[in-house]
Structure 1
Amino acid sequence: MNVKKRRLIKLLVAILLAGSVYITFLHTKIHTFSHREVLKEADYLIILGARVKGNVPSLALQYRIDEAANYLKENPMTIVIVSGGKGPGEDITEAAAMQTELIAQGIDTSRIILEDQSTTTDENIKYSKQLIPADKEKGLLVTNDFHIYRAVKIAEQYDLDIGGIPAKTPGVIIFKTYVREYMAITKFYLWSLFR
């Protein structure tokens, strides 16, 4: 084997090792943030939007709604901001779909605030922040477990000291969502450097 080939192999091995270390770092962050203790008696929740199929929440979004509904039933003074606009293939906004499902689970409409313009996690948090009543300080983001870390870090960029309620991730999309999340976190890191 000539010198050039040996150098190439060493370079590829170094890249693979560095990539493995980086993915392990990201996965550890995701795991740690999704297993933090959930704040009791929060003033408000923000449910982050996810895909709606026509007017029916995707399974990932339904898990978020269910977790939020359970928390709201146990904490009757907590209000909720449902956050998500209308994307391709959606007949209604994600916020409207969440509102309908929460009402069906017994949550009073007076406790639900709609944010129906956002199309990204960043916008979910940015626009929802504008709707948080002035007297509400302690908050929680409701999203799938893989998404808690990035969502909380984005919220920090908007001066929100907020925790998370992790909803489970549907088994059939775990691999795809984690790969996408690793890329999204990397993009967030790069964006933060130049903000």
Structure 2
Amino acid sequence: MIAFGVSALFLLLFGVGLLRDRRRFGNAVYLGLAVTFLGLGLLSAVDTLPPGLTETVLVLILLVLGLGPLVLAGLLCANGVKMVRKEGRRPANLLSLLAGLGILGVFALTVVAVLLRSRVLGVVSVTLLLVLGYVSFLFVCFVGYAFLYGRMRLRRDADFVVVLGSGLIGGRRVPPLLASRLDRGRQVYERLAARGGGAPPLLVASGGQGPDEELPESHAMAAYLVERGFPEERIRREDRSRTTEENLLFSKELMEAERPGAHCVIVTNNFHAFRAALMARKAGVDGQVVGSPTAAYFWPSATIREFAAVFLEYRAVNLTVCAVLVAIGCLGLAVTG
């Protein structure tokens, strides 16, 4: 019963956080803790099930805990190979492969420690499993809440729709990834314009000119929209930014100059939506983020990259927890030695 009570408490904190601001990583952690303690509560009640059913449930749980990470590691490795074939060998494209190999490496070390009955390897493997467990918990929280956040309805009308840039092909053409954002931005714009009740929103194409680009991304984005019938007079170009943070800050300046106190909807790809929302909150931009579709094979590596960035954003807390777990492992090694 205690586990259910703790779960209810974290669920309450999650609800309060959601009402205060959807764009908080704390919401993801509260939801993850609520589900975790709910699971522990249900697990503690397994022994009350009819004979035979208890054993079946326990076997299923053991299979999930034992084989689940191995299956996940295999899928990540397969995805990593596909990413390299389709997107090249850039470091960002290797993330799912490296994550899969890392999981397999930790489990292989654990098996070796058991077979050799090595105390040192045993303590090292347990320490790595603790760190991996902590990081995995945060990753599941991130993915789960990002999925939920991406499906939340817009709370109110907006004055602007801000589409974030993502680079050009050949220095001047909009790539499929960016085209997906622009198409989604147009859908959001049309939905907001159809509501009426005031001046229609403006669409901000946000992106500056990179060193390998012939023109600012925002200009290519605007041209893409205009060629497809979007009214040019409803487009504003933010052409100074080089990063997502600058996208948000410079777009905020543009919006404040045109309509002070404006509310906006920010459009990016679905794997980037939650992190962009965290960044928008930090930048003081009053707006919700929506995502556009991304190719399925691209999603795992991109999501790992986004999570790594958020993990490091809160590095003071996360690295402290990891250091404590490593210290516990070292203490265990000293005791067993």
TM-score of the superposed pair, with normalisation by structure 2? 0.53
Structure 2 residue identity aligned to 1:99: A
Matched, 1:152 2:277: yes
Q: Distance in 1 between matches of 2:192 and 2:218?
A: 21
Matched, 1:10 2:126: yes
Matched, 1:179 2:297: no
1:126-159: CA deviations, max 9, x gaps?
1110000234622100111111111111111222
* Equivalent residue number for residue 101 of structure 2: none
Alpha carbons of structure 1 residues 29 and 130: separation in structure 2 relative to 1, 3 Å: same
* Match 2:183 to one of 37, 41, 66: 66
Q: Distance in 2 between matches of 1:102 and 1:191?
A: 42
Q: Distance in 1 between matches of 2:225 and 2:118?
A: 66
Report 1 or 2 for greater relative contact order, CA contacts < 8 Å, sequence distance ≥ 6. Answer: 1
Matched, 1:97 2:220: yes
Unaligned runs of 5+ in 1: none
* Equivalent residue number for residue 121 of structure 1: 244
Say if 1:84 and 1:95, in contact at 8 Å, map to a contact too. Answer: yes
**How many residue pairs are counted as aligned between the two chains?**
193
From the CA coordinates, give the structure whose radius of gyration is larger.
2
* Equivalent residue number for residue 81 of structure 1: 204
Structure 1 residue identity aligned to 2:154: V
Shift of residue 91, structure 1, vs aligned partner? 2.6
Q: Distance in 2 between matches of 1:192 and 1:103?
A: 46
Give me the identity figure in percent: 25
Tell me, what secondary structure is at the counterpart of 2:254?
A: coil
Q: Distance in 2 between matches of 1:89 and 1:174?
A: 26
* Equivalent residue number for residue 32 of structure 1: 148
Q: Distance in 1 between matches of 2:163 and 2:174?
A: 13
Q: Distance in 1 between matches of 2:153 and 2:191?
A: 16
Say if 1:73 and 1:107, in contact at 8 Å, map to a contact too. Answer: no
Say if 1:43 and 1:136, in contact at 8 Å, map to a contact too. Answer: no
Say if 1:115 and 1:128, in contact at 8 Å, map to a contact too. Answer: yes
Q: More displaced, 160-169 or 94-103?
A: 160-169
Alpha carbons of structure 1 residues 4 and 75: separation in structure 2 relative to 1, 3 Å: closer
Matched, 1:112 2:235: yes
Q: Which runs of 4+ in 1 moved over 4 A?
A: none
* Equivalent residue number for residue 189 of structure 1: 314
Q: More displaced, 83-92 or 174-183?
A: 83-92
Matched, 1:47 2:163: yes
Structure 1 residue identity aligned to 2:127: L
Between structures 1 and 2, the one with greater strand share: 1
Between structures 1 and 2, the one with greater helix share: 2
